[in-house]
Amino acid sequence: MNGDHNRGTSFRRRAPAGGSFSPGFLVGKLLLGATRLLGRGGTTLPGRAALSLAPGLISSLGRQLAQGSILVTGTNGKTTTAYLLAGLMKQGGFGVVHNHSGSNLSWGIASSLIESSSWGGRLRGDLGVLEVDEGFFPVVAQDLRPRGVVVTNIFRDQLDRFGTVEKVREKIEAGLGFLEEGGFKVINADDPSLASLESSRTEYTWFYGLELPAGRDRLTGSREKTACPLCRATLEYRQVYLAHLGRYRCPSCRFQRPEPDLKLVAREPAPDGGTLLDLDFRGERFKLAYPLLGRYNLYNALAAISCALAMKVPRQAMERALAAAAPTFGRMERFSINGRQLVMALIKNAVGAGEVLQTILEQGKEPHLLLAINNKAADGTDISWLWEADFECLAAGGAQPASATVSGTRAEDMAGRLKEAGVAPDRIQVEKRLKESLLKGLASTPKGGTLYILPTYTAMLEIRSILNRMGVGRPFWET
């Protein structure tokens, strides 16, 4: 049962605690300044050092947030959802503290809180909007006792870290137990793994989901599990929107997709090239213009808007915030160089990669690609997802990418995967060095054309740094 609208948004405003100055905080602040002077991001080292000296730093800084904090977690969509939500909250009049660089482990969150504080340890802001890695979610939630939690989805990702989808669900369920009294959670109703969390904690829950007509939104061939999370019987689907996300019911028990509080019932092209979202909030219809492309971004928008509704953000503020939204930090982010467009889209698991490829192909059937695949610790060392992702779409119907440059520590694996998917060998060039691969990708792209860069996380950071040295874009900590 969904929580009552008014009760679900109740929150006792806390008197802000004093400053959080400590030797650990000072070390973090000094390291943050030093790394920025050296032209580095400073998203992890300052927080790691500070937490080693002051393990309670996140908690002490978080207590200063008079409006509490909202944590965003899940497999895909965390960064974009948190970015959209931060914009919505700012337009709603909140002073937002946000880890905009996407550094979402404990030390990244500590670094963001330190950055948003004065030298005296006083936070500049009253509401935290923080993206949190699924594995670290219970720890961060225990530290911050959040006012709200947004959970986007659960997919197979970083199997070397998590092992199974069930392990991720357990982490999220544990973290939800630290919600502050009077808080709320925003859950993707279309994900059966998340909808079943409702049975463990029923108060103050806001569901969101798609209710679009069948057709091109129907996906087949998903390798995601569709077992009922309660009795393990195979779920039956009326519609499938993305991987295992859709409208489902269990034939063996009473489990079924809950009725969403916020539904996307239709969409149409907007005059400016974006999308006009036709939304239904508990029987009330309204429309919002939304500039971001891709089916996965529909879910990101619904998650952020649902949370804004829970926080009673005015409709006009939502319109302003979404109109100003732009692709963020490696999520279909755009750059210009030498008469060419660059579009950078992070890929890190099979479902996300497949959706990125589909979005690219909607712009043109013969794209120029640069795929940069690392398997460092921050990327996840297991790259088996490359064989689960739908790279076959690049060669479907006799089509071929115009060019496909592959790079990174696992460049040869990526080249082999493309060949297996049907991409012609003469379209593929292997260059493990990232700078040289970028130059080759640009050389293969004609003036006026677009080079789509699909990197894993560490490759994305390296490519951004290379672009910055070429005078393109801003350092990621300034975005």
Q: For 45-65, give the DSSP string.
A: HHHHHHHHH-TTHHHHHHTT-
pLDDT for 19? 63
From residue 305, how far is each of 49, 147, 171, 314 by CA, in Å?
36, 16, 25, 11
Q: Which of 20-24, 47-51, 108-112 has the lowest mean pLDDT?
A: 20-24
Q: Is the pLDDT of residue 194 over 60?
A: yes
Q: Are 141 and 149 in contact (CB under 8 A)?
A: yes
Q: Could you report the per-residue pLDDT of 275-292, keeping only the tens digit for each? A: 899 999 999 999 999 988
Residue 163 has pLDDT above 80, yes or no: no
Contact, 243 vs 152, CB < 8 A? no
Q: Which domains does the chain have, with CATH numbers?
A: 5-323 (3.40.1190.10), 331-478 (3.90.190.20)
Name the least confident of 40-44, 58-62, 94-98, 106-110: 40-44
Least confident window among 8-12, 155-159, 320-324:
8-12
**Helix pair angle (106-115, 45-53), 10° resolution:** 100
Residue 238: phi and psi, rounded to 5, are -80, -40
Query: End-to-end alpha-carbon separation of the chain, Å?
Result: 40
pLDDT digits (tens, 9 = 90+) for 86-103: 999 999 999 999 998 778
Averaged over 294-315, what is the pLDDT?
95
Higher pLDDT residue, 42 or 410?
410
pLDDT: which is higher, 229 or 406: 406
Mean pLDDT value across residues 47-72? 95
Residue 109 has pLDDT above 90, yes or no: yes
Confidence of residue 199 (pLDDT cuts 50, 70, 90): low
pLDDT mean over 401-429: 96
pLDDT of residue 473 exceeding 80 = no
Q: What does the pLDDT read at residue 8?
A: 42
How many C-beta atoms lie closer than 10 Å to residue 377's C-beta?
11
Mean pLDDT value of segment 434-448:
96
Question: How high is the mean pLDDT of the chain?
Answer: 88
CA nearest to 225, candidates 304, 169, 306, 287: 169
User: Is a pLDDT exceeding 80 seen at residue 401?
Assistant: yes
Global pTM? 0.86
Q: Which of 8-17, 223-232, 394-403 has the highest mean pLDDT?
A: 394-403
Residue 203 pLDDT more than 80? no
DSSP string, 106-173: HHHHHHHHHHTB-TTS-BS-SEEEEE--TTTHHHHHHHH--SEEEE-------HHHH-SHHHHHHHHH
pLDDT on residue 7: 34
The pLDDT of 446-452, averaged and rounded, is 95
Q: Which residues of 211-229 are buried (b: 16+ CB within 10 A; e: fewer)?
A: bbeeeebebeebebbbebb
Spatial separation of the C-alpha atoms in residues 351 and 292, rounded to whole Å: 18
**Cβ neighbours of 189 (radius 10 Å):** 27
Whether 324 has a pLDDT exceeding 60, the answer reads: yes
Residue 145 Ramachandran class (φ > 0 left, ψ -120 to 50 alpha, else beta): left
Q: How large is the average pLDDT for residues 438-454?
A: 95
More confident residue, 331 or 134: 134
**Res. 215: pLDDT tops 60:** no
pLDDT value of position 160:
53
Who has greater pLDDT, 137 or 201? 137
